Structure 1
Amino acid sequence: MSPRSQPAAEHDVIRIAVIDDHELIRHGLEYLLHRHEDLKVVLRGSSVGDLRGFDAGYDVLILDLYLADDRPCVAAVKELSAVTRVLIVSASGRPADVLAAIRCGANGYVTKDAPSELIVAAVRTVASGGFYLSAGLADILQSELDETVRPPAGENDDDEVRPKLSAREEETLSYIAQGFTHAQVGRRMGVSKATVDTYVERIRAKLQVGNKAELTRAALNRLERRDRP
């Protein structure tokens, strides 16, 4: 396979590979995406193996999380996300699946029941180097992410394992994980965008992360560590 190493420019046609073990889904996604001049499906396949030997190149890989198996293909997500931008389009909206996919490097996650315009928006966002989490999934994760702001009674964070963030920084991180822009976060928190920018810079320094996708993974990693027995 020959994925593009840099984000697609605004004027480029975004080339897309679709891997899903259901033929109807593959054809449906191709029909949806081909209605837009800037989107083109260049490969359809039922398994990750279908990517091998494809040399034409693509910008975004749309991948079903469950491929003819009862277990999520997180190993494939981890391998593929190292060389291309991966957008998960899955029937599963379970928080555990979303957590696993993002931790393994997925650049976005959308459920198959999402409106068509959101799937298109997700493809464009991921192709441009951004991160996309559908609003429905953000709602599912909201209460769990909020819990990172309030540790269970009687428990303290281990600073060596989990860097200490202020309550406002934790709140900011939870909103970033849901896909909100800095301006949107500011409106929800009642502060200016500049203040949110400052919070984010502090978070990045404390957690040693860079872009929005890494911030999202950091938030979900903190949630996962909190939930471990």
Structure 2
Amino acid sequence: MTITLDNPSRRNSQVPSLWAALADLAEGLDPGVRVVVLRGNGPSFSAGLDRGMLAPGGVEGEPELLGIAVDGPERTAERIEDFQRGFAAWASVPAVVVASVQGHAIGAGFQLALAADLRVVADDVQFAMRETSLGLVPDLGGTGPLVRAVGYAVALELCATGRFMGAQEAVARGLANVAVPLAELDATTADLVGALVDAPDAALRELKPLLASAATVAPGDQLRAEREAQGRLLNGLARAVGR
């Protein structure tokens, strides 16, 4: 499945209705889908939150963020939890999620790229977390994967300063898998998708959660997860040959 942000005149800026649509797609994903590609039309993957959301009155047809905030911190946090579903839900799908990223990936755009398992970037990519410059923090599920990818110190520096990270640094720090010229982004993404689809389906579906848990669970729990996954796969192989 390919999901395309398609508002290039606004650099694919984001609003809550988009987050709800992303959550619906993730939570209702056909179990037969093996790979999901997240991409954006135009010069940018996504320039982040539509700034109109932070203005009095907000954006027509969308919840007013400043209006939500006057309900108090607890009620505000409850609403943000709903917004987060559009990002966090991708970690739970059995499919491997690939972000194909060009141009600006700022704030919510950066966090959507971080919601993917793998990232292919064009050489013009510019990642940035700009929330702190607005007196806010990243709150759409991006802090965990960012720290896991680049480490606490680099994540703190990126978020606190709001500086831009380009393609080569993103690859060097492990944030992106590969950087290619913009003209080759679609073809490189397609090659990666093809390789993922060629992998044995059952093994790939066991592999994603197994590796995702490796950095956070106790060693004994990870060993158990490995042997249980392997047990299921070996059992499937035995049944396939009639044993």
Larger Rg: 2
Of Structure 1 and Structure 2, the greater helix share is in: 2
For normalisation by structure 1, the TM-score amounts to 0.26
TM-score in terms of structure 2 length: 0.25
